[in-house]
């Protein structure tokens, strides 16, 4: 009996020795949480001036908040956000990567559907040459009357494909601070106030749709206050060269504006350090390779960009004559601003 007990003890010890590595293996080799970044240029990183070479015009940046969050948290990022994307583009070209294994989803979308670039282009003209209020009214009508249902359908699609994911809807900041310091744009204080109100309205409607879907909402308004176009420091570009960089969050805007707000609901808020930036930058090649497989679909998305005001068009010349403006003198004076 004693001999049998001894043999059993030896056998048990041997089994423990064999099984122990197997027992710890899943923890050591656990898969990284899957993070999918959906949406438009405010998520892709347009405005940071540095983009991965993925064969598209999506302008995805390792300096954008999705890359920074993934680098800091060790998430496996699929960076599908694309400059110019509208709700239909997200549905048709981005949702297919979501699965039951997706852990986190972030999305910003709706600005292009509301025509933000066209509105800014119109409002940047001198008041006598533009119909800024009319464009804002049209955008606000879309946001109030059409956007909520479109977002509800989109969010239902996200939930059906990623039923277990933490989904964070990301809003838009106020772009202006009450004055225009850029040459060759003529936003008035009243126009800037109405444009900021439109961003607030977008956030209100988007937050309500997110709540109805059971999603979180990350509102960047407070984080960007004091850092609008013409503030110091700016988190948002004003009129820029190339023009596609205009009126989008810059590197600071993503690192100090968006990242703290969004990360607070995606794994916990953190400060963007030099290591986080370096780790994000190191992901450029692998992320570009991943996104190239979707390049054909991404090329169907048309970038929506601000257009530099042109005071030489026949329409502007007619408006100047009607308003009693000496256009040549007006242009010369503007060049000295």
**Cα dist from 131 to 2, 50, 124, 191, 202, whole Å:** 98, 34, 10, 11, 21
Paired sense of beta strands 166-170 and 102-108, if any = parallel
The candidate with the shortest Cα–Cα distance to 169, out of 223, 112, 200, 209, is 209
Strand 166-170 to 34-39 pairing: unpaired
Q: Can you read off the two tokens belonging to residue 117?
A: 């670039």
Give yes or no: 41 in active site: yes
Distance CA 183, CA 124 (A): 10
Angle at 53 between CA 63 and CA 305, to 5 degrees: 70
- Cα–chain-centroid distance for residue 126? 29
d(CA 252, CA 37): 19
CA neighbor of 33 nearest in space, from 78, 65, 2 = 78
- Active-site position among 41, 43, 108, 130: 41
Number of neighbours of residue 193 by Cβ within 10 angstroms? 14
Q: What angle do CA 31, 36, 39 make, to 5 degrees?
A: 175
The answer to whether the beta carbons of residues 197 and 135 sit under 8 Å apart is no
> What span, in angstroms and rounded, lies between the C-alpha atoms of 284 and 100?
26
Residue 272: exposure state from Cβ atoms within 10 A (0-12, 13-18, ≥19): buried
Which of 61, 83, 248, 256 is flagged as catalytic? 248
* DSSP-assigned beta bridge partners for residue 166: 104
User: Quick check: is 83 catalytic?
Assistant: no
d(CA 287, CA 54): 8
Q: Which residues are catalytic?
A: 41, 248
């Amino acid at each position: 009996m004693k001999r049998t007990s001894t043999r059993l003890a030896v056998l048990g010890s041997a089994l423990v020795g064999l099984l122990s590595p197997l027992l710890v293996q899943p923890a050591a080799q656990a898969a990284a949480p899957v993070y999918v970044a959906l949406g438009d240029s405010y998520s892709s990183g347009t405005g940071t001036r540095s983009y991965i070479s993925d064969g598209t015009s999506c302008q995805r940046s390792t300096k954008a908040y999705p890359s920074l969050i993934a680098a800091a948290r060790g998430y496996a990022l699929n960076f599908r956000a694309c400059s110019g994307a509208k709700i239909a583009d997200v549905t048709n070209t981005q949702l297919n990567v979501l699965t039951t294994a997706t852990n986190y989803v972030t999305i910003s979308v709706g600005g292009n559907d509301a025509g933000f670039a066209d509105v800014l282009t119109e409002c940047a003209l001198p008041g006598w040459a533009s119909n800024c209020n009319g464009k804002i009214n049209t955008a606000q009508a879309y946001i109030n009357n059409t956007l909520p249902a479109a977002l509800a359908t989109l969010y239902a699609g996200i939930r059906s494909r990623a039923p277990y994911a933490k989904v964070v809807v990301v809003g838009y900041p106020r772009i202006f601070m009450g004055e225009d310091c850029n040459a060759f744009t003529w936003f008035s204080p009243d126009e800037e106030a109405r444009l900021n109100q439109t961003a607030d309205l977008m956030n209100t409607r988007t937050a309500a749709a997110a709540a109805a879907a059971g999603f979180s909402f990350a509102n960047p308004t407070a984080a960007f206050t004091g850092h609008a176009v013409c503030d110091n420091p700016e988190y948002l570009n004003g009129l820029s060269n190339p023009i596609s960089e205009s009126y989008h969050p810059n590197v600071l805007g993503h690192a100090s504006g968006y990242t703290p707000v969004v990360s607070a609901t995606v794994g916990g808020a953190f400060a963007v350090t030099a290591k986080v930036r370096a780790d994000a930058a190191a992901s450029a090649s692998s992320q570009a390779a991943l996104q190239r497989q979707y390049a054909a679909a991404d090329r169907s998305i048309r970038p929506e960009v601000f257009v530099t005001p042109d005071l030489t068009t026949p329409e502007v010349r007619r408006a100047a004559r009607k308003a009693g403006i000496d256009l040549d003198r007006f242009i010369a004076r503007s060049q000295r601003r």
